[in-house]
Amino acid sequence: MASLNGFNANEVDPNVAFEPLPPGEYLAVVVASEMKPTKNGAGEYLQLELEVIDGPHKGRKVWDRLMLKHSNSQTVAIAKGTLSALCRAVGVLVPRDSSELHNLPVVVKVACKKRDDTGEPVNVIRGYSRKGVGDSQASVRAPAGVGPGSTPPWKR
């Protein structure tokens, strides 16, 4: 048993269940990242947490998992290609740490798929591109005061 002394549900808005984001493109930033071991311990993936920063779904989050260490070389190649797309989209081509990808605007292509275990719909990220352009050579610059180590304006 755990003491809940001092908690009053009248003072806290209840959480509501979120439906997956509708498929589409969203302006977002990476807000957290970390390497995690696979369930069997034989590999590692980079988990990215992204937050939508514009539009009616502002504040919603989506996650991506990039299997960077795995016994299947094709799986690793796909993950590295996805990481390359993200790096190019935010203009950080040679990151030393995943935190260098944080708080930089990126267009995220989101889709829905059914979970294998429950059949419930969940979001998956299908790609990254630069903000405001279709040309992969155009540059994206973060707004003033946004970058690794700074507090983005939408969180102030």
Residues 20, 57 contacting (CB under 8 angstroms)? no
Q: Tens digit of pLDDT for each residue in 59-78?
A: 999 999 999 999 999 999 99
Cα separations (Å) of 7 from 13, 14, 65, 132?
A: 12, 13, 36, 45
The domain 19-132 having CATH identifier 2.40.50: the answer here is yes
Cross-strand bridge partners of residue 104: none
Q: Which tokens in the block code for residue 43? A: 């590999």
Q: How far apart are CA 82 and CA 48, in angstroms?
A: 12
Domain extents in the chain: 19-132
Q: Tens digit of pLDDT for each residue in 93-151?
A: 999 999 999 999 999 999 999 999 999 999 999 999 998 754 333 333 333 344 444 44
